[in-house]
Structures are given as structure tokens and as C-alpha cells.
Amino acid sequence: MSASLNITSATADTGLLDLPWDLPLDVWPAESIAALPKGISRHLVRFAYLSGYVVAIKETSAELARREYDLLRTLQRTDVPCVEPVAYVTNRTDDEGNPLDAALVTRHLKFSLPYRALYSQRLRPDTATRLIDALAVLLVRLHIIGFFWGDVSLSNTLFRRDAGAFAAYLVDAETGDLHARLSDGQRENDLEIARVNIAGELLDLAAGGKLDEETDPVEVSNGIVAAYRTLWTELTGTETFESSERWRIAERVRRLNELGFDIEELAIKTDEDGTRVVIQPKVVDAGHHQRRLLRLTGLDVQENQARRLLNDLDSYAATFHPGEEDEEMVAHEWLASVFEPITRAIPRDLQGKLEPAEIFHQLLDHRWFLSESEQRDVPLAEALTSYIDTVLRHRRDEATVFNPATDAITLPINVDWRDLV
């Protein structure tokens, strides 16, 4: 290893030093590599083991590696869902002193899935729509903080299951740029890039016989525009009403909460004679249900999972402690007597199938179906046994699913225009 190797890392993981930085990534030995599907991508990306977790390593130029690392760190600080940057490595040389490309190291998100891993035979229209809805939420959140993505696509996103829906995570920030505020043109451009890329990705699935025939790629891809605009308007739009209709302020807050957002700052203005009120959210924060659940139980889960768990918690409180003021005491009891016994009851060999909160969500669904078909109230413990044996055991492990090898082929950055003319 070169004496001048330079690692800048957010963690103090000495395991980083043990990776074979003196070899080009494409010849790293099998013992360092977590899985081998190596998509043809703009840059070479491979997965490696690092101190018990999996990291993605991307070879790129030093400048791009540093830039993307910084951008991901900034995104992380603003709580936007994205992959976790671990380090960037520069001044790599082989044992003969020849320079090697710099590398960006990010941590693989446990239980995150590439879109191509979200169907067994064919991508169904409702799954496609849920993916796009999740991507729209991510794009709105990025735009709110002034991040121009530049290459919005399903391929550049990872998805985590979220109680029947999905939560989207940004994976590739290479083309991104952070601004104080985005212009409408920048937002529109990102949206157009998203629409075209998604259509391309779905048309590609169709060409490979991997898209359900009912799905119209163009129509589904247009869906991101509508989903984005609806959410953007709800989160940032102004609303004008008579000053006698003040309930509309509370209504707006409720609608945003329902969408999973909290209003941190709301601008309220009245006109000169005080008859009309104009309101506009100035600062919104995603994770309304997430935060409430975290505060009450310490559980850190996705937004819709939190919503689901809170619903169960609330009905538990209504059943066993009607009128109880101390929400936290009830939450603690629910955690100890309902949630934790279930997660403990999952056999060890099945724990890599799904996240605990997702299992809980599916179990609640499963109990509902059982109760429906048997026309009786099936207890949770009974439903659990049935769920484990008839559902969970037959799922594949999703803790560490890698991008299948044939992802969209993006262009190598070393453009060789000699072939162009």
C-alpha cells in the first residue's frame, strides 16, 4: 500500500485500512468482495465487507469522490434519506507506484432494495406507482432544501419497505448540486429528467418482458409529475381565506401531518383591512409519525410503519387505558407487552427477511385477513404462528439485496469522442 494513501472518513473505522486499495477495484480478491454483480455503470461500483457491514465502493476521480462525499454528508445532516457516506480515498497507487482512481465508500442500507429487486416475475402497475410516489416524496424533500439532483431515476434510488408503501433513498449524488434555493426552472428540469428516465427504465423492463402488460410506461412515468406537484403545492403553496375561517390554519397543519410532515414555521399575513388571511408553510419537516413514535417508544422506523404502529398503540391505549393522560407510560407498556414479544418470537434464521416494524405491519394485515376469513377475532399470538409459517418463511432475505447485474447502462465518464466523428 502506498505510504501517501489518503482516507477521509466520517467514521474512525480502522477496517478501512485493510481493504486492498493498492489494487484496481475490478481485480479485488473474492474475500474482500461481498457480491459480484457488477453492472456496467458510469463508474465501477462493487460491494465489500467492512467491519461486519457491507459498503459500496465506487471508483471515480478524486475531485468527484470528494464532492459527492461532501454532498452526501450535507444531505445526511439535513435528514434527507440517502446512503451513508463512509469515506473517500485518494492518492491510491498500485505496488509499482502507478496511480489508481480515487474511491468513494458508502454504507449499504440494510433492507434497502433496488427497484429491479421488487418483483419476482414482472413489475406490477401498483408497485410501479408506489415506487414513483416514494420517489416523488424524496424529490420534493430534496428540492425543499435546495438540492438539484440532475439524474433522477429509479436506478439512482434505493427503496425500503414502508408498511405497504415504499420509502426512497438517494444513492447517487454525483450530478447533484446544493443551492440556497432552487428556481422553478431547476425543479422543472429535475422533474423532466425524472419523467424521461423512469419512462426509459419501464420501457426497458417492458422490452425484457419484465413489466406487467397492464402497465403503460409513459402513463406511469407521467405519474411522478402529478405526485410531485400535489405534494409540492401542499407543502409550499399559499392559501388565502376569510379571517373568519381561521380553522383553515389548523386544517392545513392536519393535512400536512397526514402526509407525514410537521410545520416548523408558518407565515401568516392579513391584508390591510384584516378581512383576509394568507398562510404559507415556510419550514416543513418530514417524519411527523416517525418522530412521535421515536419519542414515545425509542423505535426508529419509516414514516408509514410509524403510522401503523401508532395506530396499534392508540387502539391499545383506548382498550386498556381509556382516559390515561400519560401517553409515554402506555407506550412503554405497549412496547413491552405487544411489540417486543412479537419481534422476539421471530426465529433467528428469519430475522433477515424483513425489518421488525415491517414484520409487525404485515402481521397486523395477516391477522385482519385471518379474522375476516374465519369470522372471529384471531389473537395476535395465533396470527403470529400462522404468519411465520405461511408467509415469512417463504420470503427471501431482504437485509442485503444487491443490484442485479443488468442495471441501466450509464456512460463511462471517459468520453472517447474519437469514435464520434
Partner 1 sequence: MATVTFDDATRIYPGSTVPAVSDLNLEVGDGEFLVMVGPSGSGKSTALRMLAGLEEVNEGRILIGERDVTDMPPKDRDIAMVFQNYALYPHMTVAENMGFALKIAGVAKEERAARVLEAAKLLDLEPYLARKPKALSGGQRQRVAMGRAIVRQPHVFLMDEPLSNLDAKLRVQTRTQIASLQRRLGVTTVYVTHDQVEALTMGDRIAVLKDGVLQQVGTPRDLYESPVNVFVAGFIGSPAMNLFPVDFADGGVQFGSHVAPVARDILAGAHGNKATIGIRPEDVRVATDGDGLPIDVDLVEELGADAYLYGHTEVDGSRVDIVARVDGRNHPVEGDKVLILPEERHIHLFDTETGQRLNPAVKD
Binding site for partner 1 (CB under 8 A): 42, 61, 63-64, 148, 150-151, 153, 155, 175, 180-181, 183-186, 188-189, 192-193, 195-197, 199-201, 203-205, 207-208, 210, 218, 221, 406, 408-421
How far apart, in whole angstroms, are the C-alpha atoms of residue 153 and residue 167? 15
How far apart, in whole angstroms, are the C-alpha atoms of residue 318 and residue 306? 18
Give the dihedral of Cα atoms 73, 74, 79, 83; nearest 10 deg. -40
Q: Which is nearer to partner 1, 29 or 185 (CB)?
A: 185
Helix, strand, or coil (residue 50): strand
Q: Which is nearer to partner 1, 90 or 362 (CB)?
A: 90
CB 193, min distance to partner 1, A: 8
CB 118, min distance to partner 1, A: 17
Helix, strand, or coil (residue 186): helix
Cell 420509502 belongs to 167
CB 112, min distance to partner 1, A: 20
Q: Which is nearer to partner 1, 201 or 398 (CB)?
A: 201
Q: Which is nearer to partner 1, 203 or 350 (CB)?
A: 203
CB 36, min distance to partner 1, A: 18
93 secondary structure, DSSP code: B
CB 187, min distance to partner 1, A: 9
CB 198, min distance to partner 1, A: 10
Q: Which is nearer to partner 1, 12 or 180 (CB)?
A: 180
Q: For the packed helices 327-334 and 303-320, what is the interaxial angle rounded to 10 degrees?
A: 100
| Cell output for 174 | 454525483
Q: Which is nearer to partner 1, 236 or 400 (CB)?
A: 236
CB 413, min distance to partner 1, A: 6
β-partners of residue 168 are 159
Cell 451513508 belongs to 84
| Cell output for 55 | 459498503
Task: Name which of 266, 188, 268, 279 is nearest 240 in CA terms.
Answer: 279
* Residue 87 vs residues 70, 172, 221: alpha-carbon distances, Å: 10, 15, 34
Q: Which is nearer to partner 1, 67 or 292 (CB)?
A: 67
How far apart, in whole angstroms, are the C-alpha atoms of residue 303 and residue 262? 12
CB 127, min distance to partner 1, A: 19
Q: Which is nearer to partner 1, 176 or 260 (CB)?
A: 176
147 neighbors 177 (Cβ within 8 angstroms): yes
Task: Name which of 341, 352, 355, 339 is nearest 298 in CA terms.
Answer: 339
